[in-house]
Amino acid sequence: MEIGYYPGCSLKQSSALYDLQSRRIFAELGVQLTEIEDWNCCGATSAGKLDDFMAVAMPARNIGIAETQGFSEVVIPCSACYSRTLVAQKRLEASPLLRAEINENLSRKLNGGVRISSILEVLIDRISAGELKPKIRHKFRSLKPVCYYGCMQTRFPFDVPVPDDVENPQGMETVLKAVGVRAIDWGYKTACCGASAAVNDPETSFNLMAKIMKEAVARGANCFVTTCPMCQLNLDAHQEKFCQKHGIAERLPVFFITEILGATMGISPEALQVDRHFVDGTTLLKELEQDESKQAK
């Protein structure tokens, strides 16, 4: 099975391990991710703040490329890229005039018909097809994750068909349950981490992240699980600073959903590049595997 793949800028730079993991996990599930040709930045948050037209035109070009390559579906792991691309597609469907204006300047036109999917949608489809269950080697029953979606995975600045509950999404919980992991329910799963404010307004961003961290600790979590590169980077790279600033003693690894899936498939943390995290996550995964082996005996 082949699906179009848009990695976006983060998965080629700061979150390159997420790109590696996504390709590996989907290959294990019988899905070939084929990167769309000559893709460009989706505009992320910057284009939307500065130029509304470009906020649609930039992802529109990528959609046009995917259509001319013949893809019926494109998966986008990054929450921001997924949001920008899906919103652009729906805005163009709602405005024939805008679509005509943008198509006039594109060498590969948009005609419609490509499904824009998040990584969770494609994973859930594979679970429903029975592709995941035979791949499971470990069930980390002692893993106590909180699923952190951030504010872009289910909230959009335009009316789009949201495939999950906006305020209480369950996509990650569904995927984790399929590999024997029960996520902890909590109230901060869609709270904002500050996003790029971590660079230009760290005070505000650190306050937001500290609230998220305190709630996760209070619920008894031993890790975060996310799909968003920005959320993962913020909570991971800045955790030591905001925890010290706000008197938080605990430290929690921040895993991508692909890392948990890979670990349950028996892929080593090193092969998944979990050792590249700022907050150690390798130790927890190896301890869980050892505990499971002892229980099996």
* pLDDT attached to residue 297: 53
Cβ-in-10-Å burial (0-12, 13-18, 19+) of 133 comes to exposed
CATH of 137-296, one of 3.40.1390.20, 3.40.30.10, 3.40.50.11810, 3.40.50.800: 3.40.50.11810
CA-to-CA separations, 22 to 6, 90, 242, 259, 280, in angstroms, rounded: 11, 26, 29, 9, 20
DSSP state of 224: E
pTM here is 0.94
Per DSSP, the three-state class of 129 is coil
* pLDDT attached to residue 51: 83
Amino acid occupying residue 180:
G
CA-to-CA separations, 194 to 64, 147, 160, 197, 219, in angstroms, rounded: 32, 17, 24, 5, 22
What is the separation of C-alpha 105 from the centre of its chain, rounded to a whole number of angstroms? 31
Nearest to residue 58, comparing CAs of 94, 15, 87? 87
* pLDDT attached to residue 95: 94
CATH of 2-120, one of 1.10.340.30, 3.40.50.10070, 1.20.1050.140, 3.40.50.620: 1.20.1050.140
The token pair that represents 52 in the structure block = 């509304």
* pLDDT attached to residue 163: 82
* pLDDT attached to residue 73: 97
Q: What is the dihedral of CA 147, 150, 152, 155, to 10 degrees?
A: 80
* pLDDT attached to residue 80: 92
* pLDDT attached to residue 296: 59
pLDDT along the chain (297 residues), means of 10: 96 96 98 97 79 92 96 96 94 94 92 93 96 94 96 84 88 96 96 89 95 98 97 97 97 98 96 97 91 65
Going from N- to C-terminal start, the domains of the chain cover 2-120, 137-296
What is the separation of C-alpha 232 from the centre of its chain, rounded to a whole number of angstroms? 9
* pLDDT attached to residue 293: 67
Percent of the chain with pLDDT over 90: 82
